Amino acid sequence: MIEKTFDYATADDKKIEILVEREDVQINHAVMPPGEGLPEHFSNSNVNLIIVRGTMSAQLGDQEAHIYTKGNIL
């Protein structure tokens, strides 16, 4: 088999997991129940977020928080 598959959690409970961690890419999967989130943190790389269900609020830099919904890629 040439391809490599990665499994991730599909439940609704809070979960943050690293799916792929290589020198050139890292793919994380996160599930946050309503009202929960992450503390302020900083990244030293490019980050893209794919919202697959629900909504997410994110405040980047000094800008106001924005709401992102299912189907958005940030």
| Confidence at residue 43, expressed as pLDDT on a 0 to 100 scale | 87
Residue 1's SS3 state is coil
Note the pTM of the prediction, 2 decimals.
Answer: 0.79
| Confidence at residue 65, expressed as pLDDT on a 0 to 100 scale | 94
Measure Cα distances from 31 to 4, 47, 48, 60, 67 in Å: 23, 17, 15, 20, 16
The pLDDT tens digits of the residues spanning 40-50 come to: 888 888 899 99
| Confidence at residue 44, expressed as pLDDT on a 0 to 100 scale | 87
The pLDDT tens digits of the residues spanning 15-69 come to: 999 999 999 999 999 999 999 988 888 888 889 999 999 999 999 889 999 999 9
Contact 38, 24 (CB under 8 A): no
